[in-house]
Amino acid sequence: MGEPIETLEGWYVLHDFRRINWPRWHSLDPKDQSQARRDLEEIFAQYGSVQPDQGSSALYSILGHKADLLFLHFRPEPKELLTIERQLDQSMAGSVLTRPYSYFSVVELSRYLAKGLSEDQIHTTLKPRLEPAIPDVSYISFYPMNKRRQGQDNWYMATREERRELMKNHGIIGHRYHDQVIQIITGSQGLDDWEWGVTLFADDLIPIKKLVYEMRFDEASARFADFGPFYVGSKLTAGEWQLLWQGPPTPL
């Protein structure tokens, strides 16, 4: 029988994906469009004013059909994330946004990393990883995942030592890309439909592609990992955010 591994939890995380309803946008009169733009300017300014010890937020333009935008938030308490959601939903800007997907989780580390450390030392040594700032790089790739529970490939029936060795090899691959890709793992057991969320940040998408591909050949992934959909996007600056709302031409 497998034994659970104790984890350390940090900040709560919301991946809030939105889609722009362009017909709805074009149906607004100029006054309401102006109000929506002001709402977005204020919201964007608030995101930028969050103190580092109180979390961070960033906005991304998502490639492909799955969504248009990602509002990414890290906060100490889930109630803060709920407030952030409602603020956008209740604004004029929120009236032209739908939500095709969202993911709620919490930054998670294995207690293996704290071996030999006191509680005070854990807070000091691991704080940057438990309470991370959103990296200031160009691209993001997010996907949820589960550990498989099928026949002989049941992660939760493996011994603690077996799982530790598998994840050790997994980590070796990740370390080879540490100077190109920043990885933040969040746990969501009991919080969302998948067990973990993986968020990768980089200034170039190719290292992300190579990292994920190489890990598919590692036993921890090849035998035990089931992956959800991938969402890829580029970080938006305030100026790019405003240009976005010019949108496609008004239909004839």
Report the catalytic residues: 143
Amino acid at 38: R
CA 226, CA 196: separation in Å to the nearest integer? 11
CA 212, CA 217: separation in Å to the nearest integer? 9
CA 108, CA 121: separation in Å to the nearest integer? 17
Main-chain phi, psi angles of 191, to 5 degrees: -110, -30
> What b/e string do you get for 137-158 counting C-beta neighbours within 10 Å, with b at 16 or more?
bebbbbbbbbbeeeeeeebeeb
Token reading at 66: 């799955």
Sole residue written with tokens 């049941």: 154
Helix (H), strand (E) counts: the chain: 8, 11
What sign does the dihedral 205-207-212-213 (CA atoms) show?
positive
Main-chain phi, psi angles of 71, to 5 degrees: -100, 110
| DSSP β-bridge partners for residue 98 | 19
Instruction: Identify which of 13, 5, 60, 24 has the alpha carbon closest to the alpha carbon of residue 241.
Output: 60
